[in-house]
A and B are shown apart, each in its own frame.
Chain A
Amino acid sequence: MIERLIERFRHGDRLALARLMSLAARGELPRDTLGALQSSKPARVVAITGSGGVGKSSLVGRLITVVRDQGLKVAVLACDPQSPLSGGALLGDRVRMAGKPDDDGVFIRSLAALSGQSALAAHLDTMIRLCEAFGMEVVLIETAGAGQGDTAVHALADVVVLLLQPETGDDLQREKAGVFEVADVLVVHKADMPGAEQAFAQVRAAAELATPPVPVLKASARTGEGLAELWRLVAGRPLRRQADQVDKDLLVAIQEELARRFESALAGGVKGVRDLVSRWRQGSVSSHEAATAVLDLLLNEP
């Protein structure tokens, strides 16, 4: 059954994508399945975070249009809190994302995030990879509030955009350390509201002191102000996940190379290495000591 789904997914069947997303959300997507779904091109993953009511869904709705106007395909993964008591969830984000229902370049999925634990739905990383493998070029993640999910968001997304209410200038003073650590771009949202200008000045003053300084801008999903500029900023950021992935790939390659050298040293009878292994077998050196010594020998091998 899963093979058929994957086959359909490969042929661009969005019902197959939707079903695989459900399996992923429940943690039921087999590991090797994902391996088989390598994407040719990484997507730009952008997280939109901020407290409830700050306008995340409305802004995402607007960004969909901005991104589509660039000719890029976009997936939205919108997280809302799940009730810890019933396990139920009321997922209302897509109300504010009304677009063209016949546009195949937009995929919107509502997800439940376990409340109190994280602002993100479980298995979001797998779902992002599914979107990438399906050919989505941008993935917009709406978090369920700001909260404790923030560091996790940072790991999942290339760019984290934090929305602030016009009246949160003072709050920002209090928690600015944390704010500047997770956010790549700060947006004073609802710029159409009174007080926005003042909040913007405050936030910018604080953001300039951060190292590195965090860009700040004003935007409004209602009027459209600042949206093009926001996307320009977001699109100009490096793909952080890609850099992490390069690191990981390199680490794996190094491990493989070391394993190969170790095996050939053993088989080829490099004396020092064999001695160390037999002393380790007898228990006269610890694993760590033996490993360090072997590594020294291997690296000094011509």
Chain B
Amino acid sequence: MAEHLAQNRAAKRIVLAKVGLDGHDRGVKVVARALRDAGFHVIYAGLWQTPEAVVRAVADEDADWVGLSILSGAHMTLVPRVLRLLKETGLANVGVLVGGIIPEDEVPKLLELGVARVFGPGTSMPEIVEFLKQNSGARHD
């Protein structure tokens, strides 16, 4: 129990949002539950989020990570926009993850832009959890 409390005190916070105009949020919700069960504080921001709304959520929630789920194919416009807004807001240190259907050859471009990791449709939950545990997300100094 004491261990859990200690763990909780250090619980990392991650904002999950679905950006773009496509329909459902089943995938994000599965990820959200898996991360909760792994001890994260998951702030689910919902469907159809604009980059502006996502960045506001990251700011107010003091998140370590933000996970963007994108199925609409608009990632090459939406992701750079989120990254730019994060930088402008003073949140360049927040770790950015992208999930969804991203063509193989565009993954390196996203990483180049500053995305920490891209998770494709086949990614297992333990893989995501493991990555988040190995990496720190936002650096707080």
| Residues of chain A whose beta carbon lies under 8 Å from any beta carbon of chain B | 1, 14-15, 18-19, 21-22, 26-27, 82-92, 94-95, 98, 101-102, 107-110, 112
Query: Contact mask B16-53 → A, CB, 8 Å, 1/0?
Result: 00000000000000001101111111111111001011
> Would B8 and A82 count as touching, CB distance under 8 A?
yes
- With an 8 A cutoff between CB atoms, is B123 at the interface? no
Cβ of B45: which chain A residues have Cβ within 8 Å of it?
Answer: 94-95
Q: Which residue of A lies closest to B46 (CB)?
A: A95
CA distance A14 to B55 in the complex (A): 13
Q: How far is the CB of B116 from chain A (nearest CB, A)?
A: 20
CA distance A77 to B42 in the complex (A): 15
Q: Tell whether A88 pairs with B60 under 8 Å between CB atoms, given A94-B46, A95-B44, A101-B52.
A: no
> Would B62 and A88 count as touching, CB distance under 8 A?
no
Which secondary structure characterizes the binding site on chain A?
A: mixed
Chain B residues with a Cβ closer than 8 Å to the other chain, count = 37
Partner of A90, one of B7, B32, B57: B32
CA distance A102 to B55 in the complex (A): 10
- With an 8 A cutoff between CB atoms, is B61 at the interface? yes
| Residues of chain B whose beta carbon lies under 8 Å from any beta carbon of chain A | 4-5, 7-9, 11, 13, 32-33, 35-47, 50, 52-53, 55-57, 59-62, 89-91, 140-141
Cβ of B9: which chain A residues have Cβ within 8 Å of it?
Answer: 26-27
Partner of B43, one of A85, A86, A102, A110: A110
CA distance A181 to B4 in the complex (A): 34
> Would A15 and B91 count as touching, CB distance under 8 A?
yes
CA distance A64 to B82 in the complex (A): 25
Q: Which residue of B lies closest to A103 (CB)?
A: B56
> Would B43 and A83 count as touching, CB distance under 8 A?
no
Going nearest first, the 6 A-B pairs with the smallest beta carbon separation are A87-B8, A95-B46, A88-B36, A18-B62, A101-B56, A101-B53
Cβ of A83: which chain B residues have Cβ within 8 Å of it?
Answer: 36-37
Q: How far is the CB of B8 from chain A (nearest CB, A)?
A: 4
Partner of A107, one of B47, B60, B90, B140: B60
CA distance A82 to B56 in the complex (A): 23
> Would B5 and A87 count as touching, CB distance under 8 A?
yes
CA distance A22 to B65 in the complex (A): 14
Most B C-beta atoms less than 10 A away, residue of A22, A87, A94, A109: A87
Partner of A21, one of B32, B35, B62, B91: B62
CA distance A109 to B62 in the complex (A): 9
Partner of B52, one of A87, A102, A107: A102
Q: How far is the CB of B68 from chain A (nearest CB, A)?
A: 15
> Would B44 and A91 count as touching, CB distance under 8 A?
yes
CA distance A59 to B4 in the complex (A): 33
Cβ of B44: which chain A residues have Cβ within 8 Å of it?
Answer: 90-92, 94-95
